[in-house]
Amino acid sequence: MPVPAAPAGEPPGPTQVAGVPVPPRPTAPPTIPAPPVPQVPEPVPAPVPASFLPVPVAADHPAAERPAIEPLFSWAPGLNWAGPGDQWTQAWEGQEPSAAPAPGQAAAEPPTARDVELIRASLAAVEPVADRATAHFYALIFARHPEVRALFPAAMDVQRDRLFRALLMAARSADDPAGLTEYLSRLGRGHRKYGTLAGHYGVVGECLVAALEKYCGGRWDAEIERAWRRAYGLISTIMIDAAEGAARHSPPWWQAEVVSHQQRGRDIAVITVRPDQPYPYRAGQHATLETPWWPRVWRHFSFATAPRPDGLLTFHVKAVPAGWVSNALVRRAAPGDVLRLGPAGGSMVADHADPAHLLCLGGGTGIAPIGAMVEEVAEHGPAGRRMEVFYGARQAGELYELESLLRLAHRHPWLSVRPVVSEERVRPGAALSGLLTDVVAQLGPWDGHHAFLSGPAAMVRRGAGMLTRSGVRPEHIRHDLVGDLA
């Protein structure tokens, strides 16, 4: 039984299990150790790791078009080091089994088909009062363990909505054990940045069961409780195992200094940061960011470039109404500010061993990961494939990345870039007119292509349906609805 994703808009926050915050153990709350800070002898200049040194870039390399950025620091003194023997790894390896009340043998048994049926039925019963059930769940955690309140954002309105969405997704995904394991493993690794430890999971499960029992009313019985305990036992085991594995080779988060902040219109900024140590990712993926102005509030943003020789990371950020993090990044961040990054995630990556043609739809700042994928294909070589990029916006002035994409298309004959404008008349030949998804449908069919979509959630959902009707196989349609991620 899976456990799940999160809200629309700007995603997640605190310590959570499947969208559920995770409190400490009831006896002695575990201490989250601070990462070690190695001392650098004053007289000896700090060495510069090879991964942070500038590397010459060939003139025809996609990165050559970007202006060089002079880093504000060339070495980070291991503020967030992790690896064999570090304190974060020791914290995970030294965990004892949860001190939460033992759920009997049920939690050690895998959930059955009957369990999945009961879980789905109980969620359907709770759904009409989901807001009250989730509020009660958090109230139980904070009342029984007030010391964990500081792990959560100050405002809990979005957080409450996240829980039930996560549970629904889990119930719907129960028939896909491989997909469930992959999702939960990713979730478990990502939870490390909140300070989550293995001992935190038990209490959350007890509070969850108590809240569901209260709001299921007369439908709740011992069989349903056993089903939930089995499912939660599986969920927590997968997440804990994934987190323990990640702790042996990667930090829970990275510090990253802003080295460039470029305004692209009133509401969009292109932000480049230098992480304190090498940051692994693929073009098309995204990272969670936390700003110093909104502690414990993390939001997803896609990488705008393929991995660069200089190790810098670039994001395109649009300030959205009520978007705490996005507005802070667009209107307040400046060179010298330090952000925190969670690990990279997302499945919107190209398979360079597959020669299938690529079809990419990018709307608004959703063009950022599409541009990164163009760079990555250029670096690997097209291998006989073509890449069709459709770049949509409401008005021509919002196509802020069009010039750089057209330069790449001029350089690479396998790349085609077509701008699409939906709410403004443009001169013939300057752009195509209409909704992005409608224009792409009219130019189909697209059978045999592998498709990638990035942009507003409504556009992505509409585009996925359109592509299926246009001949693209569902398994060849990739997108990450960042607003819905947990």
Helix pair 157-172, 130-144: axis angle to 10 deg: 110
Cα 398 to Cα 158, 241, 315: the distances in Å are 29, 45, 17
DSSP at 390? E
β-bridge pairing 387-393 and 313-318: unpaired
Six token digits for residue 257: 């200094």
Collapsed DSSP state (helix, strand, coil) of residue 284: coil
* Whole-number pLDDT of residue 373: 97
- Long-range contacts made by residues 232-236, C-beta under 8 angstroms, separation at least 24? 232/103, 232/107, 232/205, 232/208, 233/103, 233/106, 233/107, 233/108, 233/109, 233/205, 234/1, 234/110, 234/111, 235/1, 235/2, 235/3, 235/17, 235/18, 235/170, 235/184, 236/17, 236/201, 236/202, 236/205
Six token digits for residue 19: 């969208």
DSSP at 250? S
Amino acid at 411: R
Six token digits for residue 418: 């077509």
Nearest-angstrom CA–CA distance, 177 and 190: 20
Would you give per-residue pLDDT tens digits along the chain (486 residues)? 433 333 334 443 333 433 334 434 334 433 333 444 444 333 333 333 332 233 344 444 444 444 444 444 444 433 444 444 445 445 444 444 333 334 443 445 778 889 999 999 999 999 899 889 988 988 998 898 887 777 677 767 666 666 667 777 777 777 778 888 888 888 889 888 888 888 878 888 899 999 999 999 888 999 999 999 998 888 889 999 999 999 988 899 999 999 999 999 889 999 999 999 999 999 999 999 999 998 888 899 999 999 999 999 999 999 999 899 999 999 999 999 999 999 998 889 999 999 999 999 999 999 999 999 999 999 998 888 999 999 999 999 999 999 999 999 999 999 999 999 999 888 888 899 999 999 999 999 999 999 999 999 999 999 999 999 999 999 999 998 744 433
Nearest-angstrom CA–CA distance, 398 and 395: 6
Q: Report whether 405 contacts 374 (CB < 8 A).
A: yes
DSSP codes of every residue in 81-138: --STT-HHHHHHHTPPSP-SPP-TTGGGSPPPHHHHHHHHHHHHHHGGGHHHHHHHHH
Q: What domains does the chain contain, in order, with CATH numbers? A: 16-27+87-247 (1.10.490.10), 253-346 (2.40.30.10), 358-484 (3.40.50.80)
Six token digits for residue 387: 């890449």
Cα–Cα–Cα angle for 404, 52, 407, rounded to 5 degrees: 10
Name the nearest CA neighbour of 257 among 225, 228, 279: 279
* Whole-number pLDDT of residue 9: 40
Nearest-angstrom CA–CA distance, 302 and 234: 30
Q: Report whether 104 contacts 98 (CB < 8 A).
A: no
